[in-house]
A and B are shown apart, each in its own frame.
Chain A
Amino acid sequence: MNNNNHLSSSSLTIRLRNLRKWMIALFILVIFIWSMLGLDYQGFQSTSKVVSLSILKGFMHPDWAYVYLPEGEDLLRELLETLVISILGTFVSAILCIPFAFWAAANMSRLRLFPGMGKFTLSVIRVFPEMIVAILFIKAVGPGSFAGVLALGVHSIGMLAKLFSETIEGIDPGPQEALIACGATRLQTIRFAVIPQVIPQFLSYSLYRFEINIRSATTLGLVGAGGIGTPLIFALQVRNWNRVGVILLGIVLLVVVTDFISSRLRRRII
């Protein structure tokens, strides 16, 4: 009897769990239908087929002449600019985020409120979509690669400083104690006992962020913040598909090559 009772109650929980599963699935379905209704899809436009075909044709025959033009403004130089923007943007954010990281690291201050405020600030920075940061900088300092560098530099702080502060929180506290016992000041303790422990991880995270930034840098130009995105949006507007094809090829190559180099470097550092 007892056994039977136990069985029925467990089957009830299973049934409840199943019900919950179905409810969640139904909820997702409803949200999905709701979202699809708002997208006013007008079907393939009459031009879509022609456009798709010409895109394919364009991709098959990339505009190789654009790769290098003697007078400049060519694919190679724009890709180089994109690369440079992401290098500088990563560099700026790696420098800027160090104070933020120490601010947010729980083991770097005796108060509990102080690192909490730092963590909150970082999550506020992370909420800002990258492109909005870029647009604001374009409005402030004008279009161009400077706005792009600033956008990457400021936006990356949110993620990078969070990772940095977690690294700081994970270090061995022993060396700091040893330095304090030697009569070191606070800054000396950080310089000799904290920095050497965190530098490799900092570098590795910065490279990782660089890989993300190179992807972002390719789109910054779409809103006017310099790099390969600018000629891409021009080529798209005039439907020069051969040029779009060669630019996309260039972007894919740039991302693949920098990813490869960066991940090799990261493996060597750690």
Chain B
Amino acid sequence: MIELRQVSKTFPNGTVGLKDINLNIQTGEFVVIVGLSGAGKSTLLRSINRLSDVTSGDIQIDGQSITSASGSKLRSIRRNIGMIFQSFNLIKRTTVLNNVLSGRVGYHSTLRTLFGSFPKRDVEIALTALERVNIREKAYIRADQLSGGQQQRVSIARALAQEATIILADEPVASLDPLTTRQVMDDLQRINRELNITTIVNLHFIDLARDYATRIIGLRAGEVVFDGSVHEATDEKLAEIYGRPVKADELLDSSRDMQGVGVV
């Protein structure tokens, strides 16, 4: 469970990133955060695993405060939170397997991992994670030789290898084409359902949010302006979040027939 209590964030230049956010996210939820760019989606996500620090308030992960943790405590909380980035953030020059294994470093002492050797069990965990996203056969290929969609799956596998209970995905499909977008979102959804991993995704596309989310949170200027189920997120409500009617470029596809192709 993730709890945010009166979380605020002001950047050093005075810009308000987050304003008095209060949220409870239950285990196994698939939450999609929507909002205009600059509304604070990224900041919110990145403050959950403290890639960026909040100015005030408290964030608790499974009852442990990450905002006050430091050192090994902080690292062990982070170990349970997988993160997926828009630009994949893979180590391009090394193999897919090594990238996935890098998700395991939090479980071992620094000294042991410095030589780059992982226990056999870790390799098995990594390969199983790759199997879950259907790219096990790419394990020994260099990461930069994969397509964008495949690279994003590697980073999902990395989060799985972490044996994380929470996955944060910051615009995971923004640099992908519509077809692979669906595939990656399907992967995230399947993992969420099969492994009961709490998943929080920032999305630009409203229709994707409606298709995959169990709960939608709308942000506007750093404040939560909507928090409800998919059924409650009507066009009128979304227009409120965006401060204007939803535009065509905020929809992945206006016709739904793409979806059938997407699930392969």
Contact = CB atoms under 8 A, between A and B. Distances in A.
Is B one of A's binding partners? Answer: yes
Contacts of B82: 181-182
B79 A183 contact: yes
Interface in B128-180: 155, 158, 162, 168
Contact of A182 (B74, B102, B114): B102
B89 A188 contact: no
Interface stretch (A37-45, A170-178, A225-233): A170-178
B76 A183 contact: yes
B91 A177 contact: no
Max count, chain B CB within 10 A of own CB: residue among A175, A177, A182: A182
A33 B102 CA distance: 65
Given A177-B51, A181-B78, A187 B89 contact: no
A218 B102 CA distance: 45
Interface stretch (A77-85, A190-198, A249-257): A190-198
Contacts of B105: 179, 182-185, 188, 192
B237 to A, nearest CB: 32
B134 to A, nearest CB: 21
A185 B70 CA distance: 11
A182 B78 contact: yes
A196 B94 contact: yes
Given A174-B87, A180-B78, A183-B79, A192 B49 contact: no
Interface residues of A, number: 21
A200 interface: yes
Interface in B58-107: 74-83, 85, 87-94, 98, 102-103, 105-106
B47 interface: no
Contacts of A193: 91, 102
A196 B93 contact: yes
A175 B90 contact: yes
B75 A174 contact: no
B78 A183 contact: yes
A180 B89 CA distance: 11
Contact of B93 (A178, A188, A197): A197
Contacts of B116: 191
B152 to A, nearest CB: 12
A175 B103 CA distance: 11
Interface in B183-238: none
Nearest to A184: B105
B113 interface: yes
Contacts of B78: 180-183
B87 to A, nearest CB: 5
Contacts of B81: 181
A178 B114 contact: no
Contacts of A199: 93
Given A179-B105, A181-B78, A183-B78, A191 B88 contact: no
B96 to A, nearest CB: 13
A173 B66 CA distance: 23
A137 to B, nearest CB: 32
B85 A174 contact: yes
Contacts of B15: none
Interface in B240-256: none
Contact of A183 (B94, B106, B114): B106
Contacts of A200: 93
Interface string A190-220: 0111001101100000000000000000000
17 contacts: A174-B85, A175-B89, A177-B85, A179-B105, A181-B51, A181-B78, A181-B83, A182-B82, A182-B162, A183-B75, A184-B75, A184-B102, A187-B110, A191-B114, A192-B91, A192-B113, A193-B102
Given A179-B102, A182-B82, A182-B106, 18 more contacts: A178-B90, A178-B102, A178-B155, A181-B51, A182-B103, A183-B75, A183-B77, A183-B79, A183-B105, A183-B106, A183-B162, A184-B106, A185-B75, A192-B105, A193-B102, A196-B93, A196-B94, A197-B92
Complex A-B, nearest 7 residue pairs according to Cβ-Cβ distance, in ascending order: A183-B106, A174-B89, A183-B79, A183-B78, A181-B83, A178-B89, A183-B75
